[in-house]
Amino acid sequence: MTTTRENSAPAFRPLSMMLTGFALSWTFIVATPALFAQEAASTAEATAATATATTAPAEKPKIHEVIAASDPSVQAFNEHLTILASPWMEGRLPGTKGMERAMDYMEDEFRKAGLLPAFQPSDGGPKNYRQPFSLGSQRDVTDEQVRILCGGTEVALEKEKDFRFTSLGTGGSAEGVLAFVGYGIEDGPDGYSSFAEGHSLEGKIALVLRFEPMDDKGNSLWSGGEGWSGRAGFQGKIAAIAKRNPAAIVVVNTPSANDPRITSLGTGGGGRAMADVPIFMVSTDAGERLVAACDGEKRSLMDLRKLADAKDAAGARSFDLAGSKVAVSATVSEKPVRAENVVGVLPGRGDLAKEIIVIGGHLDHLGQGDFGSREGPGKLHPGADDNASGSAGIILLGDMLKKLYDAEPAETPLRTIVFIGFSAEESGLNGSRFYVDNPIYPIKDTVLMMNFDMIGRILNNRLAVTAAGGKDIKEWAQPFYAKSGLTVVERGAGGGGSDHASFLAVGVPILFAIIADFHDDYHTSRDVTGLIDRESSVMAVNLWRELAWDMAKRTQRFEAETTGGPMRPQPMRVRVGLRTRASDDGSGLEVIDVTKEGSAANAGIEKGDKIVKWNKKEMKDREAFVAELRLHEPEETVQCVVVRNGEEKTVYVKLEPARSGQ
């Protein structure tokens, strides 16, 4: 529905364009010059890319004048946003010092607003605002070595330049003969196999080429001219080698392969070990030196590649390099990674006090872009819109609603409100799922969950809102939409993969707000504070405040939604343009066909990929995937994580409408 804006804009409306990376207070903002230089460069780049040509005023207002002329709520929102998205927060990746600083800041703001701590430590100390949970473990790798012991001399390869220990294997040490195994493929087309009958790998160091047989231009012989086939991936070849019991595996970047990854020592794989032996990635240059030193027949790495490429090999494709000896080692320790939700409580009163409203948004982001980035790792991802904007809104709401509660007569019944900054949303809604499983109050008493995720770049006042889980929730919310000054775009029941989904899954009604029009800076280093529309963000905050305040006093709960008859699947409104099947090991959905120019193809999904996450949820069977698709609306953009050639890749799928009759 479209509504009109009731309140006039502040005297200096372009606050969002003027503020590009500074904070009004909190004296810890003393980040390193390098970090601030990176933020400044990202801000300048993003602003230049999105700005439109306008006639410059004769005299521009000064920043302090713009701030002073703004609404106090806009000033407060700007302060919270700028601090949370500053380089000092390091992209707010769980387990980092930057995320700890961000949690400290939110906790301090909850305390200043008068929200109460929720958790009693096991040692009997004072209550605190943190709800810790495990995110598994993080590898600490030391003593990485690859040494060539051929020809009576010892040559140590250089770590990070020549080789890297990978997460595809486990720690350990080994010394033995170097055994060449081609591409490590045992079931190729037309009876192709990399493994010679009777050739043992027991106790040896297996040397395997990356990818699969290729032509003289470095392109696959098996994929029909489009990338690589599924056999090129790490998972199949590592499994085939590992079952032959080598002591270690060395993967070498294949010379002259037509793939940019041959210059990289990265393997992706999300940290999941594929074999219980050490596995190392070696550069093409180091692989050449390794073969030159260890092959008694004086062949080059390219000579070995051509042998592995041949359709009909004249001799064995796998063999020991006579007289060779290589030593490898890596010591691996596992350090537990702990994340924490930040939780503050506004106690209710009277007969409604035992019923709970949860207002939340995720505090975490992508750090240096090591996962989930649309442009790759190595740059600071400030996450100003995603989701410093929503987190700033939660902090602002805590202060606003506490003041409303304090001003209300003591005898007025009011529900308890729980404010939460969730952690580890980006890696799979981990924080909200943990809270739902371990709530402060019984989950059956939670009457509404209100979630903010990306409210910082509202275009043309368009805010997408999902209201679901209650039969009458949409009707109740409509008058508030009409008075908000926003154009509220109502979305379907799913509403996208964010923390509200964890609550909806256990029957809690939800309201979810997000920008209606996604931008290209999402999940990149360009998501910076200088592009945030502070005023429109505060309009969204004011809408949430009015809805929460009414719900706090409303005597009725929302009536549970029922079908009124046999369960019928919701009609499919979107078409993704691919066919899948569950992988044999239950690790994802294998893509067996992709429709040309369909949603999946346009996003970069290829035949042979394996979908492991859709909308931040794990996808292990087709039923879950189909159920998820039924919740989406046409034109919605969805995050998808695929594994391709053993490496994880994040793509973004813009869904097209379902075709008539399909």
Residues 478, 545 within the same domain = yes
Residue 399 has pLDDT above 50, yes or no: yes
Radius of gyration, CA atoms only, the chain: 28
Residues 258, 178 within the same domain = yes
Domain membership flag for residue 538: yes
Domain membership flag for residue 81: yes
Domain membership flag for residue 7: no
pLDDT of 376 reads: 75
Residues 319, 348 within the same domain = no
Mean pLDDT of 556-575: 67
Tell me phi and psi for residue 260, to 5 degrees: -65, -15
Domain membership flag for residue 166: yes
Cα separation, 582 vs 358, whole angstroms: 36
Phi-psi region of 161 (alpha: psi -120 to 50; beta: other; left: phi over 0): alpha
Of 504, 506, 507, 500, the closest CA to residue 387 belongs to 500
Mean pLDDT of 286-302: 95
Domain membership flag for residue 604: yes
Domain span including residue 625: 574-657
Domain membership flag for residue 563: no
Mind listing the pLDDT tens digit for each residue in 99-139?
A: 999 999 999 999 999 999 999 887 888 899 999 999 887 77
Residues 234, 364 within the same domain = no
Q: Confirm if 497 and 443 have CB atoms less than 8 A apart.
A: no
Q: How far is CA 75 from the centre of its chain?
A: 30
Residue 32 has pLDDT above 50, yes or no: no
Mind listing the pLDDT tens digit for each residue in 410-441?
A: 999 999 999 999 999 998 899 999 999 999 99
Of 260, 257, 185, 195, the closest CA to residue 220 belongs to 257
pLDDT of 57 reads: 58
Q: Give the β-pairing of 510-515 and 462-468.
A: antiparallel
Domain membership flag for residue 354: yes
The pTM of the full predicted model, rounded to 2 decimals, is 0.71
- Cα–Cα distances (Å) from 506 to 405, 429, 432, 470, 633, in that order, read 29, 14, 12, 13, 22
Helices (H), ranges, 212-324: 234-242, 284-294, 301-309
Q: How far is CA 345 from the centre of its chain?
A: 28
Q: How far is CA 66 from the centre of its chain?
A: 35
Residues 257, 341 within the same domain = no
Mean pLDDT of 161-189: 94
Residue 55 has pLDDT above 60, yes or no: no
Residues 185, 289 within the same domain = yes
Q: Total structural domains in the chain?
A: 3
Q: Where is the domain boundary, 324, 359, 387?
A: 324
Cα separation, 589 vs 567, whole angstroms: 26
Residues 237, 192 within the same domain = yes
pLDDT of 26 reads: 40
CATH number of the domain where residue 190 is located: 3.50.30.30
Residues 417, 446 within the same domain = yes
- Cα–Cα distances (Å) from 193 to 157, 294, 312, 313, 644, in that order, read 30, 24, 10, 10, 21
Cα separation, 251 vs 206, whole angstroms: 8
Is residue 201 exposed (0-12), middle (13-18) or buried (19+ Cβ within 10 Å)? buried
Of 445, 559, 430, the closest CA to residue 498 belongs to 430
Residues 179, 256 within the same domain = yes
In the chain, what's the furthest Cα-to-Cα distance? 93
CATH number of the domain where residue 392 is located: 3.40.630.10
Residues 230, 294 within the same domain = yes
Ranked by mean pLDDT, the top range of 188-192, 246-250, 610-614 is: 246-250
Residues 27, 58 within the same domain = yes
| Tokens (6 digits) for 516 | 């209606």
Domain membership flag for residue 410: yes
Mean pLDDT of 527-554: 97
CATH number of the domain where residue 608 is located: 2.30.42.10
Answer with the residue of higher pLDDT: 130 or 374: 130
Residues 346, 238 within the same domain = no
Strands annotated E in 259-390:
279-282, 319-320, 326-346, 356-362
Q: Confirm if 282 and 157 have CB atoms less than 8 A apart.
A: yes
Of 27, 53, 22, 28, the closest CA to residue 40 belongs to 22
